[in-house]
Structure 1
């Protein structure tokens, strides 16, 4: 094991080295808490090694390919680009490996003791760590933080085999792009991989049991994303139920019901992206008072569980399962342990992003949720075709939408779809965190020419004051 130590003197032991766990460990070390971190596979967790980061490397390649193919619109003539699939995949791995080394360096620099192995609780504050060779080591701590993340949820009729039936991890390790691919689930993971493989020429069919894609998003965003991706050649089957499935040596045969219609599909591979389930097994939680409900550790404020001194953060505590939420919770949890926080926490404003083409991002409530909560609301919607920068870069497809409480001017929700949506949403997140109203947002000066001006116009539009629509 790395930094071998047998000790009962740790102030904090973090179980899990993902974006929640390693950030919690770094913050604990900053606060001069004697800190250990246990990770069974890769520092950085699924997000850095097999999720958020490598998928964005792939999607960047897809975006670059798309821009090259449309360069003629800018007066640049190029021949059809050739894709080296193996090299594209290899670069995504290199990006993850580089960041993994960075996390390793940060933990060492901070003085965090790292144990590589699987942790099991013998009680609230006692753990046994077993490394890959079977050697064990006992640790003790005043506080333990469970940050073990989540894994892909499978389907009984389509068990993952790494060959024809993929999890997101298999989709990141493919040797070549399949000619045909079915994606089961139209959430963020499913839509991102659908977008990537379609850009490489794969014929993609997305199957979603809900009535629309990205069912957690605002309805206007969902509709726009589906319409745009359909133009890219992706087929969608919504309100669709997978009835049966069977994989053989060369294909996967699917039977799908869509209302009264029945469809038979034969594809080279299937990506199952129907959600995640928390990693709560084999942790020894049964030796504590921790409550686990359907794969989710139950917590109250600051990550507290029913067992004093034992905390849980991130995906293992349930939705929304997002890396940045886990990191935020890790910092809050450690600062509570260190006595820097007290009382009950305010609910954090957590943005959500989808990096498919087109990109989409949101923070707060959808329009439907806002109307259900506040009753009377003001909605502003500004099309990117009215934004000078969007037109200049030939990316004028999309819109920004804001939802305000009519009585108070509180920003209840913001929804963006189009170029750099995921880089812009933080502006609305910051406004919400600072409890800015429409008045402050209207008085804010946005630089010209930028895509961010459309954010300002969407606020103005909610009050009938848009200037360029």
Structure 2
């Protein structure tokens, strides 16, 4: 049995929250160790957020090339070279990994590559990647375990060896016909990218609309976009079974009686996430899980075990890197004598289809579900002059105003560069700025944020909800 090494700060997982906590604590002179099983810096710089946006941008470049004549540009070839696409992405990922390694060295935090399993309170055994075992105990322990792609229990699905986003983002070839199971953020972003590279794409989802957590008008707008770009969409399609092998030939059987069949060459499963909390001895550490397998935390992100905190997706936080970074802020403040909580924090969302979907605060459907009465401001993106300069007029923006005050309740944009005006409105909401005050802002012309000038000049509709 290895002897126990004692550290002040023990972080399991080097994702967004974990790495910033480690760098900050080590920089303050605390002996800090981070255990990471494979991805230095977590999933975001390696296999998720940044690689996917890198690939999506390459797809947009090809999409622009196919429209070159529209912009007065002559282009002889718009063929996709997936090896070149991957080379660009991998160069970015390699650079990001080096940045992380440099940051670890500069901070003094020790990065330990291996798999951790709890053997008692705040104590883990680490099976090192290079061989051997270390036992480490932390005065304070922070769990940043992340999630992985869920695999539905569908007959034949596992045997077909489908891709998750990880494999698709590392593909050196272009699928002939990609079938995407799942109409959420990941599935939609990657479906459009593969279509723009030149693949035939079919999206299969069991829900009544794409992006089911969004308002119906948003789902309808994305559906129209996909159909305009030649993506086949099947809604209300429950997957009954899968036959064949992804990468060769695959058949997806759908319908209440299994009467519909989609045939393709490759299969991507994008149906949600599962927390990485099983099989690592959390019960031996006194850490309780929720019924869905996430780590149970309070509003300060403290677990049921003394001096143990959980951050990021494993703690049930929204599955976005910016939410994980805010978890770091909350936990660091609490262990430093503050009292930050997750209550009432205003998190924004962005889906990087083209055009983007960005929103903050309440949607209309959420407001109705909660019984919140609201007034509505809405406007087509074509009214924003910036879209005319880009030849990207598709979409709309809408703002929810409280029925009995001028408070901004929520904002949704589906349009080019949607994240730009969304950030403006988020800032106004954080500052509790009534919408007439935001109307006085003199926005630069021509920007997407200037669209707020024209949106806010309208008269809100009568109260709804």
TM superposition score category, shorter chain reference: over 0.9
In the alignment, what sits opposite 1:360? Answer: 357
Q: Which residue of 1 aligns with 2:91?
A: 94
Map of 1:224 onto structure 2:
221
2:111 corresponding residue in structure 1: 114
List runs of 5+ in structure 1 lacking aligned partners: 465-469
CA contact (8 A) 1:34 1:112 kept: yes
Structural mapping, 1:335-374, within 5 Å: 335-339=333-337, 341-342=338-339, 344-374=341-371
Distance (Å, rounded) in 2 between the aligned partners of 1:385 and 1:333: 43
Q: Secondary structure at the match of 2:224?
A: helix
The whole-number CA distance in structure 2 between the counterparts of 1:351 and 1:149 is 20
- 1:453 is matched with 450
Taking a change above 3 Å as real, the CA distance of residues 223 and 32 of structure 1, as seen in their structure-2 partners, is farther
122 and 60 in structure 1: CA distance in 2 versus 1, 3 angstrom threshold: same
Which of residues 165, 168, 173 is equivalent to 1:168? 165
Supply the distance in 1 between the matched residues of 2:287 and 2:457 (Cα, whole angstroms): 48
Structure 1 range deviating more: 119-128 or 234-243? 119-128
Report matched runs for 1:119-198 at 5 Å: 119-157=116-154, 158-160=156-158, 165-198=162-195
- Give the Å deviation of 1:219: 2.1
Q: C-alpha separation between the residues in 1 aligned to 2:436 and 2:407?
A: 10
Q: 1:324 aligns with which of 317, 322, 325?
A: 322
Q: 2:394 aligns with which of 393, 397, 411?
A: 397
Q: Name the SS of the counterpart of 1:63 in structure 2.
A: helix
1:218–1:415 CA contact under 8 A, matched in 2: no
Offset at 1:460?
3.5
User: Is residue 46–residue 93 contact of structure 2 (8 Å, CA) maintained in 1?
Assistant: yes
SS at match of 2:189: helix
Aligned length: 456
Offset at residue 32 of structure 1 (A): 4.2
Q: d(CA) in 2 for partners of 1:126 and 1:261? A: 50
Any idea what the Cα deviations from partners look like across 1:162-216, whole Å, max 9, x if unmatched? Answer: x851111111122311111110001011001101110122111101111100111
Structure 1: how far apart are the matches of 2:217 and 2:14? 37
For residue 419 of structure 1, what is the aligned residue in structure 2? 416
| Matching residue of 1:268 | 265
Match of 2:14 in 1: 17
Is 1:74 the counterpart of 2:71? The answer is yes
- What is the CA–CA distance in structure 1 between the aligned matches of 2:420 and 2:443, rounded to whole Å? 15
CA 1:421–1:31: 2 relative to 1, 3 Å: farther
Match of 1:461, SS? coil
Q: Distance in 2 between matches of 1:384 and 1:295?
A: 41
CA 345–272 in structure 1, closer or farther in 2 if over 3 Å, else same = closer
Cα distance 1:441–1:32, how it changes in 2: closer, same or farther (>3 A)?
A: farther
- What TM-score, normalized to structure 1? 0.92
Which among 302, 305, 317 is matched to residue 304 of structure 1? 302
Q: State the shift of 1:371 in Å.
A: 3.0
Indicate the RMSD between aligned Cα atoms, in angstroms. 2.0
Partner in structure 2 of residue 201 of structure 1:
198
CA distance in 1, matches of 2:240, 2:400: 39
Aligned-partner Cα distance in 1 for 2:101–2:341: 33
Q: Give the equivalent residue in structure 2 for 1:430.
A: 427
Residue in 2 that maps onto 1:256 = 254
Comparing 57-66 with 243-252, which one deviates more in the overlay? 243-252
Cα distance between partner residues in 1 of 2:28 and 2:396: 43
Query: Normalising by structure 2, what TM-score?
Result: 0.93
Inter-partner Cα distance in structure 1 for 2:202 and 2:447: 35
Is contact 1:325-1:350 (8 Å) kept? Answer: yes
Do structure 1's residue 26 and structure 2's residue 17 form an aligned pair? no
Structure 1 residues 5-60: Cα deviation after superposition (integer angstroms, max 9, x where no partner) = 9731x322111011121122223334444322111102121121011111111100
Render the CA deviation track for 1:112-164: whole Å, top value 9, x for unaligned.
12111111222232222221133111222221110010000012335457x85
Compute the displacement of 1:376 (Å): 2.2
**Regions of 4+ moved over 6 Å:** none
Inter-partner Cα distance in structure 1 for 2:459 and 2:273: 36
1:467 maps to: none
